[in-house]
Structure 1
Amino acid sequence: MLRRWVLASVASLPLAAAPLVAAGEIMSGSPLHAAAGDNDVATIKKLLAEDVEIDARDRNGATALLVAIHGNRIEAAKALIDAGADVNAKDKIEDSPYLHAGARGHLEILKMTLARGADLKSTNRYGGTALIPASERGHVETVRTLIEAGVDVDHVNKLGWTALLEAIILGNGGEPHQRIVDLLVKAGADVNLADGKGATPLQHARMRGYRAIEKLLTAADAR
């Protein structure tokens, strides 16, 4: 029921609230945005040598670095980050290079943003840290990396969910989500921190028949 509500809520968002830049698609951006989307490192370096604004925005508020990350353009992202692009610059829907890399599981780029001062407390339009969507989407190594970086494992988003709750509620109970639950529990996540309606992670796991996750939680004294 909760999953259907969330999916329906997201589907009902206006177009302006949905990601507007697909891989390689530039929305009225600069030549630097185009080069980033094309993974054209030579052109990126040439433009930067000509003193173009590295953090200029397209009409959606995205920097060239965010455009590169939308397409997982690793070489372009590296060139821009090495040149000083802002890894925390948010677009109009509150995505930043760091947040988007984390949510999408673009692990190599995520590590670059962490090394260049990613704001671990920054949140997306749902009020969630990078750890929460990474947990929901089953990005195991991304979750491990974010935990090791120091992201708050018990941060609660606007839906009233932590990373642990979202991994259970929006996950499928399979092996990646089991590993993520295990990582979160071992990192000290509060296994009894309930959602806004008072349902605990264990109750959600039992409701969905996620036996392996239920065992992980009960072993951690979940109620």
Structure 2
Amino acid sequence: MVNLLVEAGLKTETRARLDDVRESRWVSKGWTDLHVAVAFDRTDELLSLIKVRERGSLDCRDKEGRTPLHLAASKGHERCARVLVDAGADVDARSNDGRTAVYRAASNGDRRMVEMLMEVGADPTIASTDRGRSALDVALDKGHKEVVEILEWGEAVLNAARRGELKHLESLLEKDASVKYRDQYGLTALHAATIKGHKDAVMMLVEFGSDIECQDTEGHTPLHLAVEGGSIETVEVLIDRGANVNAKSKAGATPLYMARAMGYDEISQFLLEKGASSSSSLPSSLSSSLSSML
């Protein structure tokens, strides 16, 4: 472990610190080089180490089942957490006690870490196995008001958008409720509003900073779901605000492909007029409908 850390550029401030790495306590914890780099909050060294590892090894575990991301969340090392997430670490990985990274951040009252993890799709509803509590439960128990607001208001925004409740939605957004909250399918409030055809809610969410190209777990953008919902007005709103008409889902479906597959001739024609490509290869089958999820 020491050799790999040194090769990757991990500079120790003192000889004693290098000796610490050698000490059996690291071995007894089951920590890898990634765990150690995160423990010292060494972002540059972490990046170097990641370059020589396979993607799956980012979720390596210590003897308690903790991944490097768990450790970053527990210690509040936001930059290290961001590096790991950007490199493909599993944001919902569970340790032996069933706790996720967002659970640990919520338990510590770390608002910034919770926000970052939520933005990249962490599921705050996952309950730990030791006490059966979610991130919201532990934040409530410990009185971390700001974290509770992030977790509660984010879900409230999604629900208000889904139902097209404009006054409630506006009230939440004016209180700085997050528009980046995602449910277990990776759906944001903007996804929910678009598939339901709530164009006014869509306009409001975009105005308050919703990412118009955000993708759910299947790679669908809000435009994909607006097409699936069959509302040409909502499709127009998104395209007028810069939505990519040729965005592809993980299955390779474009909005135009979805419109044609669903028999929405008017939407298909509109997409073509707005620059949709009709020459790209089409997937063999359309991703399953998300309507039942909303």
Interval of TM-score (by shorter of Structure 1 and Structure 2): 0.5 to 0.7
Could you tell me which runs of 5 or more consecutive residues in structure 1 were left unpaired when the two chains were aligned. 1-28, 42-56, 190-223
Residue aligning to 2:10: 39
1:74 maps to a residue whose letter is T
Q: Distance in 1 between matches of 2:63 and 2:50?
A: 21
Q: Distance in 1 between matches of 2:11 and 2:38?
A: 13
Residue aligning to 2:132: 160
Q: Distance in 1 between matches of 2:115 and 2:124?
A: 11
Deviation at 1:58, TM superposition (A): 4.4
TM-score scaled by length of structure 2: 0.43
Please list the CA deviations of residues 9-60 of structure 1 after superposition, one character each: whole Å capped at 9, or x if unmatched: xxxxxxxxxxxxxxxxxxxx44224677x9329xxxxxxxxxxxxxxx9454
1:71 maps to a residue whose letter is F
Residue aligning to 2:32: 63
Q: Distance in 2 between matches of 1:40 and 1:90?
A: 24
Residues 72 and 142 from structure 1, CA distance in 2 versus in 1: closer, same or farther, beyond 3 angstroms?
Answer: same
Contact 2:58 2:84 in 1 (8 A): yes
Residue aligning to 1:98: 69
Root mean square deviation of aligned Cα: 2.4
Q: Distance in 2 between matches of 1:59 and 1:132?
A: 24
Bigger Rg, structure 1 or 2 = 2
Residue aligning to 1:198: none
1:182 and 2:154 are equivalent in the alignment: no
Q: Distance in 2 between matches of 1:103 and 1:126?
A: 14
Could you tell me which runs of 5 or more consecutive residues in structure 2 were left unpaired when the two chains were aligned. 13-25, 157-294
TM-score scaled by length of structure 1: 0.56
Deviation at 1:187, TM superposition (A): 2.2
Deviation at 1:76, TM superposition (A): 1.5
Residues 94 and 34 from structure 1, CA distance in 2 versus in 1: closer, same or farther, beyond 3 angstroms?
Answer: farther
Q: Distance in 2 between matches of 1:132 and 1:112?
A: 19
Q: Distance in 2 between matches of 1:164 and 1:109?
A: 23
Q: Distance in 2 between matches of 1:35 and 1:165?
A: 43
Deviation at 1:164, TM superposition (A): 0.9
Q: Distance in 2 between matches of 1:95 and 1:160?
A: 18
Bigger RCO (CA 8 Å, 6+ sep): 1
Secondary structure, counterpart of 2:59 in structure 1: coil
Residue aligning to 2:220: none
Residue aligning to 1:199: none
Deviation at 1:140, TM superposition (A): 0.7
Runs of 4+ in 1 over 4 A off after TM superposition: 33-36
